[in-house]
Structure 1
Amino acid sequence: MDAGNNGDHPRLKPPVVLDGTANEGRAGPPIGIVDIGVSEDAYLFRVALPGIRKDPHSLSCDIERDGKVQIHGVVADSGILENSSSVYQMSVQQLCPPGPFTVSFNLPGPVDPRLFKPTFRADGILEGVVIKFKFPPKDGQSPPT
């Protein structure tokens, strides 16, 4: 990652579009907070998805060549919680309401979607590393160093 202070760089603070239940603005940990890191060859992004289950059928992440990232998921209904010996009806819900959501943002540049490795961590962070797209050198020219 770049060791310089790029926290104020406007391209590293992408506009993030929230849709569905992620956009309802309730109190509690917000879904869709995004951090982006840049290295010479790749981008790293981390997206906060608190309360989302690690289930391949309820979460997907798509990346387009132009660097657009779309995360689709479903917040499970947690109005009734079952414990080993009790059933709880929730009267206060501070987490994101149940239902589908989408988080969309753009990375600072084009990428190769084939070279993408997502990891959904146990702490509710979706982390992805994707390799930057390198334009092939023109005939007769050596690649830039």
Structure 2
Amino acid sequence: MGELTLSGDCKPTVELTGAAKEWTSRSVDPVSIWTCDGAYRARVRLPCNSRDIDKLKCLFNPKGKVHIEVATRSDEISPPGLYTITFNLPGDVETKHCRTAVTADGIFDFIILRHGLPEALRARFIKILKSG
């Protein structure tokens, strides 16, 4: 549990403008995705707090498909049960090179290496991911 950090300039894949940009107290979408030089980062709002997670599984497909399953045991935020969240990242990924965390308020946060990077950039991002 905790907060992930990634050095470098990350840009959101969806940009907000006008009144939506001013409303920063909560993410508009349950999934927020950023694109960095060598990685993708996503924050996913789960249907429960971290203490109510009974089981959490995340599968990454090399083509960028992300499938999250979370089983909850309390009805504090939503009814107990199994929830699934599936979405696509903007591009291909290296599934062996990622780092994940869950915050206390139920945000699933991950950083995953983009596929097809030049070797020097790839090595730098692998080092960042392992330094956790």
* Same fold (TM > 0.5): yes
Pair member with larger Rg: 1
Shift of residue 77, structure 1, vs aligned partner: 3.7
**Aligned with 1:130 (options 96, 105, 112):** 112
TM-score (ref. length: structure 2): 0.63
Runs of 4 or more consecutive aligned structure 1 residues displaced over 6 Å after TM superposition: none
Which position in structure 2 is the counterpart of 1:58? 55
Shift of residue 75, structure 1, vs aligned partner: 1.6
Shift of residue 136, structure 1, vs aligned partner: 7.7
Identity %: 30
The reply on whether 1:7 has 2:15 as its aligned counterpart is yes
Distance 1:4 1:62, change over 3 A: closer
Shift of residue 3, structure 1, vs aligned partner: 5.2
Q: Is the 8 A contact 2:50 2:103 kept in 1?
A: no
Q: Unaligned stretches of 5+ in structure 2?
A: 1-8, 17-28, 120-132
One-letter amino acid of the structure 1 residue matched with residue 43 of structure 2? R
Q: Is the 8 A contact 1:52 1:76 kept in 2?
A: no
Q: Is the 8 A contact 2:13 2:34 kept in 1?
A: no
Distance 1:104 1:111, change over 3 A: same
The reply on whether 1:74 has 2:71 as its aligned counterpart is yes
Name the structure where helix makes up a greater proportion of residues.
Answer: 2
**Aligned with 1:107 (options 86, 89, 98):** 89
One-letter amino acid of the structure 1 residue matched with residue 86 of structure 2? S
Distance 1:5 1:46, change over 3 A: closer
- Determine the C-alpha separation between the residues in 1 that align with 2:61 and 2:89: 10
Which position in structure 2 is the counterpart of 1:27? none
Over the residues paired in the alignment, what is the CA RMSD in angstroms? 3.0
How many residue pairs align between the two structures?
Answer: 100
Which position in structure 1 is the counterpart of 2:21? none
Distance 1:130 1:108, change over 3 A: same
- Determine the C-alpha separation between the residues in 2 that align with 1:105 and 1:38: 15
